A = this chain, B = another copy of it.
């Protein structure tokens, strides 16, 4: 329905033929892999259609046979990252521990590919891996005993918090080396030296600030969120049923 111009053929109907001039046989997977490699090796700015074509040994315009536009490609990259994270996650049935584990995995997974995370963490892909994740997480919450509207609210807060922190911390990691060092230095050089009388609270806590600001606040924020959710749950269920019956046996749904 996207006007008449659709050079993209659905992957199912694709009977891949015709190697590129340099001999490579293109595929959706190969393109996404190469894009991730480009991002990892040369930073977010290196990901352009033209450079990606060059890295693949194909004309840039060939990519448009596989992705409607660069945004479409970006979503495919994002979904691949979700898939990789989910594949290493093995829920135990304890909703709080499972969500904590998943959150930390999403976070550290993003830091492993900061450039990709920065570009894609805020997108709704609607692709297979994302759908599987949504299904599983909501299942965990409903299984824990949250009523549907509450489960959705907490799901939304949990997921967006994980993605938001992933993007935030990934952005720091993705900064040019000089800029990153400069930022770290600000806490020592500026904040830790403020006089007591003009900035009593900073001065009193300077030691803690220097220590704490050097690492991600995500674990703290995640624990606060989960702890509030747990409190809400006992409020609702009247104290019992903290574990609950899973709506679905452990393991990501396919």
A residues neighboring B (CB under 8 Å): 71, 121-126, 131, 134-136, 138-139, 142, 148-149, 151-154, 156-157, 159-161, 163-165, 167-168, 171-172, 176, 179, 183, 186-187, 190-191, 194, 198-202, 204-205, 208-209, 212-213, 216-218, 220-221, 223-225, 227-229, 231, 247-248, 253
- Chain B residue nearest to A137 in the complex (CB): B201
Q: Do A248 and B212 touch (CB < 8 A)?
A: no
CB within 8 Å for A224 and B229 given contacts A167-B168, A212-B156: yes
Q: Do B190 and A156 touch (CB < 8 A)?
A: no
Q: Do A124 and B225 touch (CB < 8 A)?
A: no
Q: Do A204 and B124 touch (CB < 8 A)?
A: no
Q: Which 6 A-B pairs have the closest CB atoms?
A: A164-B164, A126-B186, A224-B228, A164-B168, A228-B228, A152-B208
Q: Do A200 and B247 touch (CB < 8 A)?
A: yes
Q: Do B163 and A168 touch (CB < 8 A)?
A: yes
CB within 8 Å for A151 and B205 given contacts A164-B168, A217-B160, A221-B161: yes
So how many copies of this chain end up in the complex?
2
A227 to B225, CA, bound (A): 9
22 of the cross-chain contacts (CB-CB < 8 Å) are A124-B213, A125-B186, A131-B190, A135-B199, A135-B201, A136-B201, A142-B204, A142-B205, A148-B208, A152-B208, A153-B220, A154-B224, A156-B212, A156-B213, A157-B224, A200-B247, A200-B248, A224-B224, A224-B225, A224-B229, A225-B228, A227-B231
Q: Do B153 and A187 touch (CB < 8 A)?
A: no
Report the minimal beta-carbon distance from A44 to chain B, rounded to whole angstroms. 12
Report the minimal beta-carbon distance from A100 to chain B, rounded to whole angstroms. 14
- Select one of B160, B168, B204, B253 contacting A199, CB under 8 A: B253
